[in-house]
Amino acid sequence: MTAVESSTTYDVARIREDFPILGRRLSGDLPLVYLDSANTSQKPQQVVDAIADHYAQHNANVARAMHQLGAEATAAFELGRDKVAAFIGAPSRDEVVYAKNASEALNLVARVLGDAGRIGPGDEVVITEMEHHSNIVPWQQVTQRTGATLRWFGVTDEGRLDLDDIDTLITERTKVVSLTWVSNMLGTINPLDVVIAKAHSVGALVVVDASQAVPQIPVDVAALGADFVVFTGHKLLGPTGIGVLWGRYDLLAELPPFLGGGEMIETVTMERSTYAAPPSRFEAGTPPIAQSVGLGAAIDYLSAIGMQNVAAHEQAITAYALGAMQEIDGLTVVGPKEAVMRGGAVSFTLDGIHPHDVSQLLDSRGVAVRAGHHCAKPAHLRFGVQSTTRASFYLYTTEQEIDVLVEALHHTKKYFGS
């Protein structure tokens, strides 16, 4: 029974000690129950220290400085890239492009594919109804600009990707298919293999929004077979201000630059410029130096625990939460109701109580969840709700915390008299 084995070696209490914020007391001296990790993750002391130490002892600009501090900062910055590449199984470190967040990375891909003429009049881009706004708006923008058409997969009543239409959706006209790996609202894990195979069979490129996947499941981009994979540092125990675009090297090498400026050039005259090879070509200006150091420390932390173990814990805690929460009368989970092909974000409604009011009452008990549309308005519309409350879990979440959540939900119902 490997599941039991790994849960005995997985010591959540020990892990929690590394996260200073989990010891926070809130208003009323209540302990913090942080169930908002799909929004942003907390940071272990190791990450906080790596960033502080970088600024205090090794800070310099990178690439262009030849002095000792510059060499230290450059080595530390590029080591972060090496760690990212190894963590996601990238065949080459030069396939790892830094952006400011996942949103910029998705915009980068959409813009340069448009600028390169790979999306044009009559072409189609296919997304899904369960995307985060950051994987919708850039494709609306590029299809509008280029005269292409935006199409999308629907979502079944169970919150799964509706694959019935796949053959009419993905056709010879399709140039790009962009979809999320794990839905940040429904929690659904999508069957990427099916979509990637179909997209590649018609010659379309596949962009995977792995913002919710890389934090909670082992990722191997080479095995996945997509063309671009995007994620964000702050959901992965890392700092804000850094996102990652992984792209197939041959593709990156063909594409025109995104932002222009320092560091992304080969040579510049007033009349014209030539551009550096990837990843530099896509990284204009001073890069997220301390953020790469911090992200590297986050990856070290996760790797030491083992992503298999992180995934197993996420799975176990989500199953526990789904069970306990669905015993509450009037609570409806929006998204898959069992912990099968499912990540650790559980969105729900509570009859007669608006999600704002739910989350406010939970907060009054120290339970931090998110209420609103979770940047997924179309997915909410699909289920006929304007907003939901979402509890989301991570490697530091305990069953006791879920119990506090459930107790607080009962309290909420009583408070609003429903």
Partner 1 sequence: MNVDSLYQEIILDHYKHPHGSGLREPFEAEVHHVNPTCGDEVTLRVHLDGETVSDVSYAAEGCSISQASVSVLNDLIVGRSVDEGMAVLDSFTELMQGKGKVEPDEDVLEDGIAFAGVAQFPARVKCALLGWMAWKDAVSQALVTSSSSDPAITGDPT
Tokens of 183: 């839905």
Beta partners for 205?
Answer: 176
Minimal distance in Å, beta carbon 183 to ligand PLP?
Answer: 7
Minimal distance in Å, beta carbon 274 to ligand PLP?
Answer: 19
The pair phi, psi for residue 318, each rounded to 5°, is -70, -40
Question: 234 or 281: whose CB is closer to ligand PLP?
Answer: 234
Q: 3-class DSSP state for residue 142?
A: helix
Question: 187 or 355: whose CB is closer to its own copies?
Answer: 355
Minimal distance in Å, beta carbon 139 to ligand PLP?
Answer: 13
Question: 241 or 355: whose CB is closer to ligand PLP?
Answer: 241
**How far is residue 250's CA from residue 94's CA, in Å, rounded to a whole number?**
11
**For the chain, how are helix, strand and coil distributed in percent, rounded to 5?**
45, 20, 35
**Which of the residues 166, 284, 368, 375 is marked catalytic?**
375
Minimal distance in Å, beta carbon 350 to partner 1?
Answer: 12
Q: Which of 66, 223, 270, 304 binds partner 1 (CB under 8 A)?
A: 66
Q: Which of residues 96-125 bind ligand PLP (CB under 6 A)?
A: 101-103
Which of the choices its own copies, ligand PLP, partner 1, none does residue 207 contact, using the CB cut-off of 5 to 8 A by kind? none
Residues 6+ positions from 331 with CB-CB distance below 8 Å:
325, 348, 349, 350, 351, 409
Question: 208 or 334: whose CB is closer to partner 1?
Answer: 334
DSSP letter at 36 equals B
Q: Which of 286, 308, 386, 400 binds ligand PLP (CB under 6 A)?
A: 286
Nearest to 41 by CA among 299, 239, 219, 297: 239
**How far is residue 127's CA from residue 207's CA, in Å, rounded to a whole number?**
10
Question: 264 or 361: whose CB is closer to ligand PLP?
Answer: 264
The total number of residues shown for the chain amounts to 418
Part in contact with partner 1 (CB under 8 A); list of ranges 65-73, 119-127, 161-169, 207-215: 65-73
DSSP letter at 121 equals T
Element (H, E) at 199: helix 192-201
70 near partner 1, rule: CB under 8 A: yes
Side-chain-side CA neighbours of residue 283 (13 Å): 26
13 near partner 1, rule: CB under 8 A: no
Q: Is 239 known to be catalytic?
A: no
**How far is residue 375's CA from residue 345's CA, in Å, rounded to a whole number?**
14
Give the distance from CA 202 to its chain's centroid: 27
259 near ligand PLP, rule: CB under 6 A: no
Q: Which of residues 126-165 bind ligand PLP (CB under 6 A)?
A: 132, 134-135
Binding-site size for partner 1 (CB under 8 A) equals 33
Name the residue type at position 379.
A
Q: Alpha carbon of 379 to those of 44, 132, 184, 347: distances in Å?
A: 32, 9, 10, 11
Part in contact with ligand PLP (CB under 6 A); list of ranges 157-165, 207-215, 248-256, 383-391: 207-215
Question: 101 or 349: whose CB is closer to ligand PLP?
Answer: 101
Binding-site size for ligand PLP (CB under 6 A) equals 18
Question: 54 or 390: whose CB is closer to partner 1?
Answer: 390
Which of the choices its own copies, ligand PLP, partner 1, none does residue 209 contact, using the CB cut-off of 5 to 8 A by kind? ligand PLP
118 near partner 1, rule: CB under 8 A: no
CB 126 within 8 A of CB 176: yes
Q: Which of 123, 124, 209, 283 binds ligand PLP (CB under 6 A)?
A: 209
List residues with catalytic annotation.
Answer: 375
